Chains A and B, each alone.
Chain A
Amino acid sequence: MSHGKLIVSLSPHVSSPDHVRRIMLDVVLALLPAALWSVYLFGFQAVRVIFVSVAACVICEYCIQRFLLKVPSSVDDGAAVVTGLLLAFNLPSNIPNWMIVVGGFVAIAIAKMTFGGIGNNPFNPALVGRVFMLISFPVAMTSWPVPLANRGQMIDAVTAATPLSIAKEGLKNGIASDQLMASLPNYWDLLIGQRGGCLGEVSVLLLSLGGLYLLYRKVIQLEIPLAVISSVFIFSGILWMVNPQTNMSPLFHILTGGIFLGAIFMATDMVTSPMTPAGMIIFGIAIGILTVVIRVFGAYPEGMSFAILIMNAFVPLIDRFTKPQKYGKLKHG
């Protein structure tokens, strides 16, 4: 008895139901609450920025694969959608469309496809796009529409500085931090996201909700977010304890800017983060320290993007020195 069409392959003959597209879908789902919140805060402008950014990234990847590399396109894996979403999350809501397209192009074409596409990029593409825009269009990238106030507005939105830049300016001009806090949103408002800033970074609560979903789905591990947030808290706390008048409180540091967005969604990017728990903790702590250093001593009020990009460069080195414990080398006999 023989059977003509039996498939022969090597073991294992089963594979887990998880695949790359499912992982990307999970990230999109996890970003959804914060995206909806941004629409609530910034109205139609938020929808516009997200749409243009995602479209720019997806079209850019598709065109490069189909017309330049002449290979089947892999945009259906959803990675370009995630990059587009994350880029949009890192932009103010009144940014002009053409600038978003430039950012999307840099993210996909330069930061991702030149290295060989998904999996091969050493730096987080969305952050490369954002930092390129921050340096190229400093004014547009740092004017922040006031939340809720002008949701219907297409242009001429009323803008105001973010809590972080108010704090930075204030401290530079010698105003004590407790005085500054009186004029800034309180911690509760910072937690739920009643403040100005980039589209997706404002609601710490909703970003954490997305983070919990990713933890549940095992897309991310706790090590990186925990290391980043606690390292920012501890190092800004040390500075604050040394001189509470000239430094903002650690709670203010972790609730403002892009700490939660960066810690949960950007630093945990699989492609550009270390492989082992020990490596992830080193990576996260270093990002936290760099962020505080840039915020306190640097020229920019926020340092999250730079900190993550700098540490992305160290990932191969970290992986080399934090190998998993091999079986059979530890205890025996």
Chain B
Amino acid sequence: MQKKFRIKTFPAGGVHVDECKFSAQRPIESLPLPGVVTTPVLQHFGAAATPIVKAGDRVKTGQVIAQANGFLSVNIHATIAGTVARIDEAMDVSGYKRPVIVINADGEDWVEGVDLSRTLKRKVELSSVEIIKKVQQDGLVGLGGAGFPVHVKLSPVAGKRADVLLINGAECEPYLTCDHRLMVEKGPEILVGVVILMKALNVSRAVIGIEWNKQDAIAHLSALASDFDGIDVVALKACYPQGAEKQLIEALIGKQVPIGGLPIDAGCVVQNIATAFAVYESIQKNKPLVERIVTVAGEDLKKPSNFRVRLGTSMAALIEAAGGLPESTGKIISGGPMMGKALNMLDIPVIKTTSGILVMPQERSKRDPVVNCIRCARCVKHCPLGLEPYLLMNLAEKERFEDAENEVVMNCCECGTCAYVCPAKRPLLDYIRLAKTFITQRRKEKAVK
């Protein structure tokens, strides 16, 4: 008998987006080792790491090549053994030039002490403080997309306490299947990772939320979880943006994060499935973050896949391995179709936060022509944060940023639901971003004065 699940969801807004999970049944494949890796020194939210190698240095796989620069920063490692070719600048997904360390690879020579075996190690030996220190050294950041350093979320904040750890396995972005495959293939490791995170946070309860469109993962993890104390698996309705932090928290524990606050203000800490797996590898196997799972998908792609990739590998290599760039390609996106970034070139390195590469055909690449707002109220109805996107766009167009701020535009998580549902195809989110950028800028200026 299959266990019956009560399907939970967040109370307001959201929309079901066509899932297009083409690669859901494709097992994770290891991509052949790259000849060159380009490693940006900033792959996380916070301060860039400081390079500690120079051109000509020999490096081993897993060796630190850039050191964390302060608390809100993590180490960056050589993801392959070889020689440092140069310290240079290269384009990132946003189209800006960023400092990178380029390594010419010559093999798989790991640093001492890394356990590369597949044996599951359940017993957690490190203490809470040691775990927090170790994950920063091993370069761990949230692998869901924002890249927030793991140790920062785990470090206690004065006067605030987490009661529960939430694990995000929603993967609500269409096309992406990397977390799904990881849950199906690395269930025990993920659960040990969750236990480690619980120990670091000193909480006795963890909840793993997974969208109902991944029933195999739900069944698998909940069967395994019965072996662990305090870990629950909860089924979530397939509704975008179920995996957005605020929505996930409300769906799982029924609390809201106050405006301008953090999840800790709602008594919880949220980590992604892939992060839990990386935590397992770091703490139990002494393996720093040098690789991740990346989904490569698209309507016309020959072989939609989930690849285990060394960080710093060129995205072009991933597309090549997935059957090459189709003739029809109009747009290439790093991430999912709702929040991902469109690329203007292919030779961009995979970084810690790269969850997917989408190849969109020409006919789906261009935006539809914009017409007048017909006040259909769909943006208001579907906004998961209770905002009025049509109003925010009007205010931004008229440069009434102060009024937009009073309408809590800063609480917008840029999930894109408003622009998705708009029948007049209005660029709602573009204008909301404009208002947010302007307000952030002005707040900075005020802080300086």
Contact = CB atoms under 8 A, between A and B. Distances in A.
Given A3-B329, A15-B367, A20-B424, A333 B377 contact: no
A10 B316 CA distance: 21
Contact of B422 (A15, A276, A330, A332): A15
Interface stretch (A86-94, A116-124, A206-214): A116-124
B301 to A, nearest CB: 14
A22 to B, nearest CB: 7
Interface string A294-333: 0000000000000000000000000000011111111111
A172 interface: no
Contacts of B246: 327-328
A10 B429 contact: yes
A119 B426 CA distance: 13
Contacts of B338: 11-14
Majority DSSP secondary structure for residues of B touching A: loop
A118 B372 CA distance: 7
Nearest to B320: A1
B108 to A, nearest CB: 25
A229 B429 CA distance: 37
A327 B376 contact: no
Contacts of A276: 377, 380
Contact of B255 (A12, A74, A329, A333): A333
Contacts of A19: 368, 423-425
B425 A271 contact: no
Contact of A8 (B344, B388, B433): B344
B158 interface: no
Interface string A142-182: 00000000000000000000000000000000000000000
A270 interface: yes
B371 A118 contact: yes
A1 B337 contact: no
Contact of B337 (A2, A14, A79, A273): A14
A13 to B, nearest CB: 4
A13 B360 CA distance: 9
Interface in B333-347: 333, 335, 337-347
B50 interface: no
Contacts of A15: 367-368, 419-420, 422, 425
Contacts of A6: 329-332, 342-345
Contact of B423 (A20, A116, A323, A328): A20
A310 to B, nearest CB: 18
Given A3-B325, A326-B386, A16 B339 contact: no
B321 interface: no
A191 interface: no
Contacts of A14: 17-18, 174, 337-338, 364, 420
Interface string B373-398: 11111001001111110100000000
Contact of B429 (A8, A12, A325): A12
Contacts of A22: 423
Interface residues of B, number: 77
B216 to A, nearest CB: 25
Interface in B231-260: 246, 250, 254-260
A331 B267 CA distance: 12
A1 B347 contact: yes
Nearest to A325: B386
Nearest to B385: A327
B146 interface: no
A273 to B, nearest CB: 8
A23 B433 CA distance: 28
Nearest to A8: B342
A6 B376 CA distance: 33
Contacts of B15: 16
A275 interface: yes
Interface in B255-303: 255-261, 265-267
A332 B255 contact: yes
Interface in A1-45: 1-3, 5-16, 18-20, 22-23
Nearest to B428: A12
B29 interface: no
Contact of B387 (A116, A270, A326): A326
Contacts of B374: 20, 23, 79, 118-119, 270-271
Interface residues of A, number: 46
B331 to A, nearest CB: 5
A328 B258 contact: yes
A16 B267 CA distance: 36
B12 interface: yes
A19 B383 CA distance: 18
Contacts of A8: 95, 331, 342-344
Contact of B259 (A23, A79, A325, A326): A326
Given A328-B258, A332-B261, A2 B416 contact: no
Nearest to A119: B372
Contacts of B115: none
Contacts of B345: 2-3, 6
A79 B375 CA distance: 13
A13 B250 CA distance: 26
A332 B388 contact: no
A333 B266 contact: yes
A331 B256 contact: yes
B365 interface: yes
A10 B368 CA distance: 13
Nearest to B175: A14
Nearest to B427: A10
B376 A270 contact: yes
Contacts of A325: 12, 386
A77 B374 CA distance: 11
A267 to B, nearest CB: 14
A18 B316 CA distance: 34
A284 to B, nearest CB: 14
B420 A328 contact: no
B421 interface: yes
A23 B377 CA distance: 13
Nearest to A23: B423
A111 to B, nearest CB: 15
Contacts of A116: 372
A77 B95 CA distance: 37
A23 B372 CA distance: 14
28 contacts: A2-B345, A2-B347, A3-B332, A3-B345, A7-B331, A7-B366, A8-B331, A10-B429, A10-B433, A11-B339, A13-B360, A15-B420, A15-B425, A16-B420, A18-B421, A19-B423, A20-B424, A23-B374, A118-B371, A270-B374, A272-B375, A327-B256, A328-B257, A328-B260, A330-B256, A331-B256, A332-B258, A332-B266
Interface of B: 12, 15, 17-18, 95, 174, 246, 250, 254-261, 265-267, 314, 316, 325, 329-333, 335, 337-347, 358, 360, 364-368, 371-377, 380, 383-388, 390, 408, 411, 414, 416-417, 419-425, 427, 429-430, 433
